[in-house]
Amino acid sequence: MRISELSAQTGVTVPTIKYYLREGLLPEGERTSPTQAAYGEKHVERLRVIRALLDAGVSIAETRRVLGALDDPPASPNALLGTAHAAITPPVEDSLDLADTEALVAGLGWTPGACDPAVLHAVARALDGLERAGFVVPKPVMREYLRSARRIADAEIAGVPEGSAEAAVRYVVLGSVLVEPLLLALRRVAQQVSSGERFGG
Amino acid sequence: MRISELSAQTGVTVPTIKYYLREGLLPEGERTSPTQAAYGEKHVERLRVIRALLDAGVSIAETRRVLGALDDPPASPNALLGTAHAAITPPVEDSLDLADTEALVAGLGWTPGACDPAVLHAVARALDGLERAGFVVPKPVMREYLRSARRIADAEIAGVPEGSAEAAVRYVVLGSVLVEPLLLALRRVAQQVSSGERFGG
């Protein structure tokens, strides 16, 4: 199909499609003439994934890296998760002290080497932000965060499809990124329901 | 103290402090001359909160609304949570179909009127993003999301401090916003730990 048809089918405007082509998010179509290219179903599907990532707040640069992980996945599902996380996690900051973080994530089953340093640093950065704001998470609440994070992760990892490598890649890469807005939104609904029950409407 | 001392004490540069003053995030100091103003402890604390919110990815406009909720809190803790959520939740989109969302959040104890429409719409938008990307959350995983969201919210709401209205306001407003990066980072650590256990390192 032509770029105009690709636009009509996906609802993404032609200038935006051209922008994604220039940014390397969308692979080039097959040249049919010096000024025209043909696009196929894989472009339709790729455009849907790009829109979903950008709508979820993932940056253009992160989206490029996530798509790279989809196109060129590492061999093991475990390495795949690391690649997906690396695409959306800021690099390590050496200035952060990890002692408190390591003590905390031991509650998740973490031991030295059990996860990428960048992901551990993301926890340290979040704790640092809370501390600088003078915000203290009550101990029973923090315990529930750890328990729930582990339960969620166990359910998710148990759900990694076996058999099809492509299905596993999609599940791990898109699941780790796209589900985040859903989890945060569900927490807000639950907070309002729970607050209504405790404090009245 | 002078603006230069406020800068030294908080590590925020003078131009950035002036930017926050212009944006209305930081209240003016007390004028001591036509060109100078004096700042106090409340400015130090406010700067810490501003930095924490911006570092957590909250926009300038949302930060202004969150700070407004801190300064001028509604009477009931329940209304307070609504105000905090409204500050960081995009407005309602009428184009979204809420039927699937309402069926889903019933699992959180949600009933019509149990939460702000904007928060319900955030769930609908997240589900819509997943659907457009062709991503299906397996049923057992979704059940765990709902159970964990409710457990987390119950622990958080049980932890709302009683007695001091100011402490309750800080807890609800900052807790609902600043804890989000922590929860997402803990989930990533737990995913890597759980994946390492299932698939090997």
- B1-55, what's its fold? Multidrug-efflux Transporter Regulator; Chain: A; Domain 2 (1.10.1660)
Reported as a pLDDT band with limits 50, 70 and 90, residue A56 is confident
Mean pLDDT on A117-143: 91
| Spans of all domains in chain B | 1-55, 75-199
pLDDT over threshold 60, residue A201: no
Q: Which H or E run includes A116?
A: none
pLDDT tens, residue by residue, A65-123? 888 888 887 777 777 788 788 877 877 777 788 999 999 999 999 999 888 888 999 99
Residue of A nearest to B114 (CA): A193
The per-residue pLDDT of chain A, averaged, comes to: 88
**A132 vs A101, higher pLDDT:** A101
With beta carbons under 8 A apart, name residues in chain B contacting A141: 152, 155-156, 159
DSSP string, A47-102: HHHHHHHHHTT--HHHHHHHHHHHHS--SSHHHHHHHHHHHHSPPP-TTS--HHHH
Test mutation, B50, B120, B157, B169, chain A, max A CBs within 10 A: B157
Confidence (pLDDT) at B201: 55
Confidence (pLDDT) at B182: 95
Test mutation, A45, A98, A195, A198, chain B, max B CBs within 10 A: A195
CB B176 within 8 A of CB A136: no
8 Å CB contact of A176 and B188: yes
Give the C-alpha separation, B109 to A190, whole Å.
8
Question: What does each of the 201 residues of chain B score in pLDDT, given as a tens digit?
Answer: 999 999 999 999 999 999 999 999 999 999 999 888 999 999 998 998 898 888 777 888 888 988 888 888 777 777 778 878 887 787 777 778 899 999 999 999 999 988 888 899 999 999 988 988 888 999 999 999 999 999 999 999 999 888 777 788 778 888 888 899 999 999 999 999 999 998 875
